[in-house]
């Protein structure tokens, strides 16, 4: 009997049920139970732990197109957030191959055990190429991922739950992904044989608005000489400006920017009107666009991966970027005092903007990578250069 024959005679211990009623069978891993979310695919070949702890994936079930996931294990250093409550975080993971034993000197825990510890449900044995092709053709579906070791499922109930879930449009998830109180940040990036460091001699006071911020963003701000204070997503303009910041950073995060914007756009607009240098990424980029008068739209399949080429109109260069978003800014709705600075070379969608008359800019992608290439680290220096120029102009 071949391995395929043996697999075909083994009852499925996990199901992925799509909102159209389609059922994908596989082997269960991680936590048991069921969870509903939007099913997306990620094309990155490395960094699955960073992806699985990125708050921007809240409400989503991630399909990895790369088959070998789990082979480097997990550790406590590659976590991008600690705020991954089951109701507000990632909903599940879809794999092609079964998880192998870790083979890396940094591994501290098997991925399967790590998923269990974080209450994340997984399914393996899935034809992820076919699922990815389906998403590219029909758009991101909603679905339910379920794991039952005995192979017993209430299929009709799972179908009903998948069909009834409203999806991410109109859903504010940033509030749940955010910190609930302000706190300082001083940890710098990881160095070989040294680990993480501590910032010293900071030159700029920066307030980072946490819509679901990743740790490596904060580390790169600290590397760049910023004394960082993190504020919740619900912070008011008065709370932000009370810190007398040299700059304000608007972070990544999950959900529909229009929904989060109901309480954040006013804050952003007042910060910008006060002339404070402002830098946004991902969800922060989208909400900055809303604050400046633009619109956002839900994408057909979204951009999720670490190999997305972006053209920077300000330098004439192409950078390979890390992306994770299901909404985008409609560049045609940006006002005359805002220019489009970056575009995706995959589909021409907006990937950056800058104000012509104020020290304000943002990008759609993740310049901190983690995982991904480091082509875009220059943006953190662009931010500090902007703050320095603004301080000098204020002193003149």
Catalytic residues, by residue number, are: 282, 366, 368
Q: Give the residue from 250, 220, 247 showing the smallest Cα distance to 235.
A: 250
Q: Give the residue from 142, 154, 126, 131 showing the smallest Cα distance to 33.
A: 154
Measured distance CA(342)–CA(231) in Å, rounded:
28
Q: Are strands 226-232 and 23-30 parallel, antiparallel or unpaired?
A: unpaired
- Asked if the bond preceding 3 is cis, omega within 30° of 0, the reply is no
| Residue found under tokens 């740790």 | 215
Measured distance CA(381)–CA(132) in Å, rounded:
36
Angle at CA of residue 144, ends 139 and 148, nearest 5°: 145
Tokens of 194: 């040294």
Centre a 10 Å sphere on the Cβ of residue 11 and count the other Cβ atoms it contains: 10
Specify the 3-state DSSP secondary structure of 378.
helix
């Amino acid at each position: 009997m071949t391995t395929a024959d043996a697999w075909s005679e083994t009852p499925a211990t996990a199901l992925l049920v799509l909102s159209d009623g389609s059922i994908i069978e596989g082997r269960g891993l991680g936590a048991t139970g069921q969870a509903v979310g939007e099913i997306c695919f990620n094309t990155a070949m490395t960094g699955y732990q960073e992806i699985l702890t990125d708050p921007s994936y809240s409400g989503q079930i991630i399909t990895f197109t790369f088959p070998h996931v789990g082979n480097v294990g997990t550790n406590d250093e590659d976590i991008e957030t600690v705020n991954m409550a089951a109701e507000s975080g990632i909903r599940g993971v879809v794999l092609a191959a079964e998880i192998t034993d870790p083979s890396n000197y940094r591994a501290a825990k098997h991925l399967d055990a790590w998923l269990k510890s974080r209450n994340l449900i997984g399914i393996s044995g899935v034809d992820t190429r076919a699922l990815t092709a389906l998403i590219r053709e029909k758009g991101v579906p909603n679905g339910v991922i379920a794991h039952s070791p005995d192979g017993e499922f209430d299929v009709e109930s799972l179908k009903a739950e998948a069909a009834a879930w409203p999806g991410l449009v109109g859903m504010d998830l940033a509030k749940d992904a955010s910190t609930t109180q302000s706190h300082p940040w001083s940890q710098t990036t990881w160095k070989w044989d040294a680990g993480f460091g501590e910032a010293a001699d900071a030159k700029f006071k920066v307030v980072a608005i946490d819509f679901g911020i990743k740790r490596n963003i904060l580390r790169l701000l600290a590397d760049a000489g910023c004394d960082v204070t993190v504020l919740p997503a619900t912070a008011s303009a008065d709370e932000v400006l009370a810190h007398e910041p040299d700059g304000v950073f608007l972070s990544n995060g999950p959900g529909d920017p229009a929904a989060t914007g109901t309480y954040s756009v006013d804050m952003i607009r007042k910060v910008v009107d006060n002339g404070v240098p402002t830098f946004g990424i991902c969800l922060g980029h989208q909400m900055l666009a809303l604050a400046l008068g633009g619109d956002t739209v839900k994408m057909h399949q979204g951009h999720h991966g670490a190999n997305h080429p972006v053209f920077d109109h300000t330098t004439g260069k192409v950078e390979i970027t890390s992306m994770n978003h299901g909404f985008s800014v409609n560049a045609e709705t940006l006002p005359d005092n805002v220019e489009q600075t970056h575009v995706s070379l995959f589909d021409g969608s907006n990937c950056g903007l800058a104000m012509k008359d104020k020290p304000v800019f943002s990008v759609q992608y993740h310049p901190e990578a983690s995982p991904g290439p480091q082509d875009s680290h220059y943006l953190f220096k662009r931010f500090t250069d902007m703050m320095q120029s603004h301080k000098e102009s204020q002193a003149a």
